[in-house]
Structure 1
């Protein structure tokens, strides 16, 4: 489907209060995915959309859901499935902002890693919109605590990552319990065969919308370095000391590699955090909080673990290992250089990985820059630049312990 000339939100059949709220939030001109999908979704058609993180896809489905919401009907009318709790929290937050013009809209987030008791109490109030991860949603359906007989819209957000994380069976079991007459919206950053398969199984003649998945790389300096396997970690340290990014995400392909690399960097006096699928939810939350609070300049992550994270002002992305898929590579480096800021993307590759390099060149339709590692200069000052700017302190206290924010100096 080609782009449309309709780019202003005022061209949509939204109420004046809704449009005023959009304007107050800075929503004036629609992004590509919004302008191409919102008219279709508001019409009630199913949608199969390819759009990356940061494209405005959340608003693309949230606005249409809220536009059609019957706030006086106390039944769950929309269900949004997300691969991670972090993405679910972000989606819920955007829903709440967009819903400010609709009084008494009840939006509930249901994810694993949280006590189920408070969730059960919240479900008794019949939320209009439920956002959550497949595992916890299925658990509530099995307990009978979540009723979806009044559901009108199902959204699968970042469906490709949910499939990568093994949620196919859970999603199938959830869909079996939904009304047959519903609208189904499927969003995916990539377009593997499995996406078409699940679309055929759960959607009714969906409109196919694909927004150009290449990130705007005009602000990203991208450099590749050829290394031997034994030189990979030392070269990474040289990169960090040479470029001295204040914040960086280092991508590895395996969970154990993340953990091992974080430990290797710590032994060299460089603070780093590891984010991967083997972490408990509490550990994951603590890692993300520390990185967000600038208590570490370096986050080492797998693609799945980093999926859906909204990391602002990220100065550098480093590929410790090249991805098997050139589209994933572009998605990785697109996390830096956003909103007009300068970004840096550095990648290490072995001679045996030359075919991956060629695939990246073919995908982005231009050659890549390969520099020699001898151009990297390290200095003792680099270690200072990589030191955390802040320290995050976890205090195990609260209302029960009669500890308030005002009791902590500086809080």
Structure 2
């Protein structure tokens, strides 16, 4: 009984090997005849039997599969599948140390990469001009396909993530950036470049030796080595912005927290974190993060300005004015900061006006309160005048300044601003 089973087993293996080789011959003939659908049909038939094949047969299978998918470079070819098949072949032959088909496969992949990368760059530049989501989407898909063709070139996946984001395709952008984090991508790289003597365009090379040879042959000039800095911080930044764009603020904060653990001195990630707290309506946390940012970057006027706004919202008028003045100290033409100092000063008239409304029949008290009110208006006036000096197109500033002139009986100045106001309304 055992002999019979053994004989049967040997017979089955022989039939499997025969079937594999038969299907591969069919696929090879179909490829030569440009009948790629028939080639793929034969490849699919052989695929189920390939696991136990010998090295030579397996390598040929991977090669023919790549060729059938490639379709001699036809537009209908699925380039991601082409890349997967040929990369599987290259990895397998490298593993077995028998390189029969790898050079041809690598050449096909490199040609596809160069063509597609150039097309992606052109489409991206077009998108920058048109600002059209569809143009961005096209470029992003091409960058992503280049990465699929050459998974070692992670910078193309980084490009895809960014351009998907610009296309507002947040799901694919998130997918790209999460993949980069999974791959521990940094973007740090040494780029070897030179200038093409024929057209003056920059060429990049895989290694220094290739570049130097081109220069030696007189085909290129001006050789240079470019050190690319880490892009990992930006991966966290854009991943968080994608989640925020989808309204997933808590997830965005989770990503930023993770990013700040890795980059604790990142001003950019801190500001993004602050902005998300603001989007969530958490003004206390927003202010806390801004104050942390001031410690990190004490010469940025907008930080003091925004803390001033938060202080105003919390009724801390004097603190707000101090922040706005600090912003002006750093940026003397900061029109909004001047405007807000004026507004903070005028805010002090609220209790006076309330008391005036209660004292309509007590003329002496009313006159004294009104005098205090006008004194505050005089204090606020120069700040609004400065705000108008640096921004003559703000209707709200013009309206407030016009009202101050009227209350302070500055008739001529009020008339001048009325003319400005009428033009701005048009």
Greater Rg by CA: 2
Query: Structure 1 length normalisation: TM-score?
Result: 0.22
**TM-score scaled by structure 2?**
0.22
Higher relative contact order (CA 8 A, sep 6+): 1
